[in-house]
Amino acid sequence: MQTGRCLKTWDFPTAIKRVEFSDDGKLLLAVTEMRMGHLGTVVVFPITVDANVEQADAPIFTITFRQSKATVAAWSYLNKFIITGHEDGTVSKYNGKTGEPIQDTQAHELGMQITDIQMAPDRTYFLTASKDKSAKVDRIYM
């Protein structure tokens, strides 16, 4: 911010729907669009906070969606989980260190896309908004 110099640009095969830093600023997640033969993903990159050090080119891990694509994603407390909201109204929880799936829940009406996810300040619960004309609060279970 002090110099206005771009520190890193990552290129993706499709549009990016959402980006978010982890609480400690050391991880970045990006939700990619499913288009042109590419599946939707959540990609997690390490971030180096020293502006004089080169950022990593490769992600730590990628979560690939073969069923309903993710439209939004967010980090839970202490980066323990990644919570994703999907096109079919489901919410999924993934291990924040490995990307392994943990749990899927039908949070909104089937087929009604989740359009936004917002974490509470302590990141132990979250709010989802959906095209089903509802907003729902849910707690992140261990």
Res. 9: pLDDT tops 70: yes
- Within 1-142, where are the H helices? none
Reply yes or no on whether the pLDDT at 8 is more than 90.
Answer: no
The percentage of the chain sitting over the pLDDT mark of 90, rounded to a whole number, equals 66
Q: Which fold has domain 16-139?
A: Methylamine Dehydrogenase; Chain H (2.130.10)
Q: State residue 1's pLDDT score.
A: 61
Q: What digits encode the pLDDT tens for the residues 33-49?
A: 877 778 889 999 999 88
Residues 6 or more apart in contact with residue 98 via CB below 8 angstroms: 61
Question: What SS3 state is found at 125?
Answer: strand
Q: What value does the mean pLDDT of the chain take?
A: 90
Backbone angles phi, psi at 30, to 5 degrees: -135, 135
pLDDT for residue 71 is more than 80: yes
Q: How many CB atoms lie within 10 A of CB 58?
A: 10
Both tokens assigned to 71: 């439209």
What's the pTM value of the predicted model, to 2 decimals?
0.90
SS3 79: helix
Within 10 A of 114 (CB to CB), how many other CB atoms are there? 25
